[in-house]
Amino acid sequence: MTRVGILTSGGDCQALNATLRGVGKSLYNIYGDKVEIYGFIDGYKGLMYNNYRQLSPSDFTNLLTQGGTILGSSRQPFKQMRMPDANGLDKVEAMKATYRKLKLDCLVVLGGNGSQKTSNLLSEEGLNVVGLPKTIDNDIWGTDITFGFQSAVSLATNVIDCIHTTAASHNRIFIVEIMGHKAGWLTLNAGIAGGADIILIPEIPYKIDSVISKVKQRAAQGHGFTIIAVAEGAKTVEDAKLSKKEYKKRVKEMLKSYPSISYEIAAQIEEATGREARVTVPGHMQRGGTPCSYDRILSSRLGAAAALCISKGKFGVMMAIKNRKVVSVPLADIAGKLKVVDPSSDIIAEARLLGTSFGDE
Ligand code: F6P
């Protein structure tokens, strides 16, 4: 009998269930009734606190189009993994004990950056781990794309599309704030797909004067409205020069006056132009709903590849996409690295050619 544990960790996304399905169905097809799959509840928390349920083939049906995760998820920050919990429990030892108690042959982790750091830690501690790259942020090192990303791009694009029509009717300046944590992938892609006039991402620090002059230039050219896609982690040129600690302080100060960076930018634009600037924040909507067709295919491929990897006894890896091929990359190579937008990449140059401003010129 082969015993496989599986969990979904960190912020959810649209294609978690589709990926669980990919892994489950493929494992049953490889092993028949010679495999037992245990699902841990709420991510690593379930592994720590011995909270799981044995899954059966019927648990993996009707999942392809279902958002969220049937296993539940939670954030268990990597930097707290080596700290005991409130009752003094050694989390890493507790996770290892559950793994051993269930006589698992492998643990499959559907998770983002932080979760894959923990996957690597568990792998270093001797557990057999296979990671799967989940996040709407697309910021996992070692893979061209993560599942959840394209679904979120579609949703954020739809928001920009909706804002476009009302902005045009009222000749307003509109900011759409897009998720992505420290990476600008989501904002960049939704911004281009939605035809945003200005795109602000953390990787290209902005000057507020450039943003304002682009708005004024559009007005002078007869465009009454301007759409600005702002990443939640967007930074000014001055912010980018700050140390981590100083930047944290600056954000804390800013949050005393504004709900987020977009509202600060809106206030600055209003003051400089005397025109109305509105903010729309779609927030967690970007992680919800059904996965798009791209993600369903990606999740199915990655899930199947993970099952194959397990059957070959290959562990300590994360399944990834490289040039449209599914490959496995060592967890040790990706742990602790962040994949961000390269400001000198073709897509940025192409967007600039189309007239998009990144607020830096
Ligand atoms: O990592 C996914 C993500 O949605 C980020 O884009 C965002 O910064 C963060 O999670 C929000 O986290 P939470 O749901 O814990 O507020």
Report yes or no on 170 lying in a domain. yes
Same domain, 9 and 71: yes
Report yes or no on 275 lying in a domain. yes
Same domain, 119 and 235: no
At residue 25, the pLDDT reads: 98
Residues 1 and 9: beta-carbon distance below 8 Å: no
Average pLDDT, the chain: 97
At residue 107, the pLDDT reads: 98
Which residues, at least 6 apart from 193, have a Cβ–Cβ distance to it below 8 Å?
A: 153, 157, 160
From the candidates 12, 85, 105, 137, give the one annotated as an active-site residue: 137
Query: pLDDT tens digit string along 221-280?
Result: 999 999 999 999 999 999 999 999 999 999 999 999 999 999 999 999 999 999 999 999
Query: pLDDT tens digit string along 22-51?
Result: 999 999 999 999 999 999 999 999 999 999
Report yes or no on 206 lying in a domain. yes
Cα separation, 98 vs 51, whole angstroms: 9
The model's confidence at residue 284, banded by pLDDT at 50, 70 and 90, is: very high
Cα separation, 35 vs 307, whole angstroms: 11
Measured in Å, residue 11 CA sits from the centre of ligand 1 at 6
DSSP assignment of 305-335 equals HHHHHHHTT--SEEEEEETTEEEEEEHHHHT
Specify the number of domains making up the chain: 2
Query: pLDDT tens digit string along 133-152?
Result: 999 999 999 999 999 999 99
Measured in Å, residue 112 CA sits from the centre of ligand 1 at 11
The model's confidence at residue 8, banded by pLDDT at 50, 70 and 90, is: very high
Same domain, 142 and 163: no
| CATH for 272 | 3.40.50.460
At residue 72, the pLDDT reads: 98
Among 38, 28, 58, residue whose Cα is nearest residue 104: 38
Same domain, 252 and 329: no
Report yes or no on 346 lying in a domain. no
Choose one of 42, 147, 179, 260 to mutate for the ligand 1 pocket test, by most ligand atoms within 8 angstroms of C-beta.
179
Same domain, 144 and 6: yes
The model's confidence at residue 125, banded by pLDDT at 50, 70 and 90, is: very high
Same domain, 83 and 101: yes
- 137 in contact with ligand 1, CB cutoff 6 A: yes
At residue 101, the pLDDT reads: 98
- 135 in contact with ligand 1, CB cutoff 6 A: yes
Same domain, 280 and 325: no
Among 50, 56, 21, 52, residue whose Cα is nearest residue 39: 52
Report yes or no on 303 lying in a domain. yes
Average pLDDT, stretch 339-354? 98
| Strand, coil or helix: 229 | strand
| CATH for 128 | 3.40.50.450
Among 228, 146, 157, 240, residue whose Cα is nearest residue 202: 240
At residue 148, the pLDDT reads: 98
- 11 in contact with ligand 1, CB cutoff 6 A: yes
| Nearest ligand 1 atom to alpha carbon 286 | 4
At residue 216, the pLDDT reads: 97
- 112 in contact with ligand 1, CB cutoff 6 A: yes
- 181 in contact with ligand 1, CB cutoff 6 A: yes
Query: pLDDT tens digit string along 149-185?
Result: 999 999 999 999 999 999 999 999 999 999 999 999 9
Choose one of 137, 155, 178 to mutate for the ligand 1 pocket test, by most ligand atoms within 8 angstroms of C-beta.
137
Paired with 111 in beta bridges are: 133
Q: What are phi and psi of 37, to 5 degrees?
A: -115, 130
Report yes or no on 357 lying in a domain. no
Same domain, 142 and 6: yes
Active site residue 139: no
- 279 in contact with ligand 1, CB cutoff 6 A: no
Same domain, 239 and 295: no
Residues 229 and 200: beta-carbon distance below 8 Å: yes
At residue 245, the pLDDT reads: 97
Q: Which domain holds residue 64?
A: 2-148+291-334
Same domain, 20 and 122: yes
The CA-to-CA distance between both ends of the chain, in Å, stands at 62
Report yes or no on 188 lying in a domain. yes
The model's confidence at residue 335, banded by pLDDT at 50, 70 and 90, is: very high
The model's confidence at residue 120, banded by pLDDT at 50, 70 and 90, is: very high
Report yes or no on 361 lying in a domain. no
C-alpha distances (whole Å) from 201 to each of 69, 254, 263 are 29, 18, 15
Same domain, 63 and 159: no
Strand runs labelled E in the chain: 2-8, 35-40, 52-55, 106-111, 129-133, 173-178, 198-200, 226-231, 277-280, 317-322, 325-330
Same domain, 267 and 299: no
